[in-house]
Amino acid sequence: MSDQKEVVIYSTPTCHFCVMAKAFFDENNIEYTNYDVQEDPAKRQEMIDKSGQMGVPVIFVGDEMIVGFDEARIRELLGL
């Protein structure tokens, strides 16, 4: 899976869907970068600038943005 797209998730520790998304990545051996927007104001602002909204999770698979945990869309983008 060396051609895997970069996966980034903007999340908070208390967000149920964020926890589900990270568990999904872990179960499928998907490497991802997690930004805790509760603790990191700069990343929170970056997420708002990119997505136009405050809700988490905001997930990027390559250049594709997914708002919320859309497992089917993530599987499609990652070719799972």
The 10s digit of each residue's pLDDT in 34-46 is 999 999 999 999 9
| Per-residue pLDDT at 58 exceeds 80 | yes
- Give the model's confidence band at 76: pLDDT under 50 very low, under 70 low, under 90 confident, else very high: very high
Write down the pLDDT at residue 4. Answer: 74
Please determine, for residue 50, whether its predicted confidence score (pLDDT) is greater than 90: yes
Q: With contact defined as beta carbons under 8 Å apart, do 21 and 66 qualify?
A: no
Residue 1 has a pLDDT of 43
Q: Are 47 and 58 in contact (CB under 8 A)?
A: yes
d(CA 9, CA 22): 8
- Please name the residues in contact with 23: beta carbons below 8 A apart, sequence gap of 6 or more: none
